[in-house]
Amino acid sequence: MADNAEKCAPCIKKKVDALIAHTSKKFAETDRGWLETFSEDQLDKMIPTVIEKEVTKEVNVLTDAQKAALAYGEKVLKERREKLIKGIQTNAKDVWSDADLDDMDEVKLEKVFISINKVKIDEFDYSVAGEVELNVNECKEAPLLLTGAKLKTK
């Protein structure tokens, strides 16, 4: 054993240093003399085995209901965006190109829409029959008109 220790003294010292410095803290500086009496093969057997464990976590996993709600929300936002763009281009196509409007976020689109149309996007048209014309002369009472209906006077 002494013959082996002399031949590989630098190697043994290196392995003993590694064992003492290892994070497992199995060996301390006080163990150096004892550890240097072992051969390289014996020291190799003392090196702690590192077990690597792969950890995977699923973060922010959506339920089926949440996925459906998200899909519905995206659909509604897309329809609203298309409505805004259509409303802007109906009244100012020569000013706003498709590329200009596609680059805008929804807040800017709504501001442009309101400034051009002077109405809010979410105002509803409650007229059932579209444009309705009534002849006032035929009515004995003042008519109750639907929203969007126009009074035709002669």
Tens digits of residue pLDDT in 29-77: 888 888 888 888 888 887 777 778 888 877 788 889 999 999 999 999 9
Number of domains the chain contains: 3
Contact 124, 137 (CB under 8 A): no
Residues 13 and 39 reside in one and the same domain: yes
The tokens describing 94, both together, are 């020569």
DSSP conformational letter for 24: T
By the 8 A CB rule, do 72 and 113 touch?
no
In a domain, 54, yes or no: no
Q: Which domain covers residue 95, as residue numbers?
A: 81-122
DSSP run (H or E) holding 64: helix 64-92
Q: Are residues 137 and 104 in the same domain?
A: no
Q: Which pLDDT does position 126 carry in this prediction?
A: 52
Say what the pLDDT of residue 1 is.
46
Strand partners, 148: none
- Between the CA atoms of 34, 10, 41 and 37, what dihedral angle is there, to the nearest 10 degrees? -20
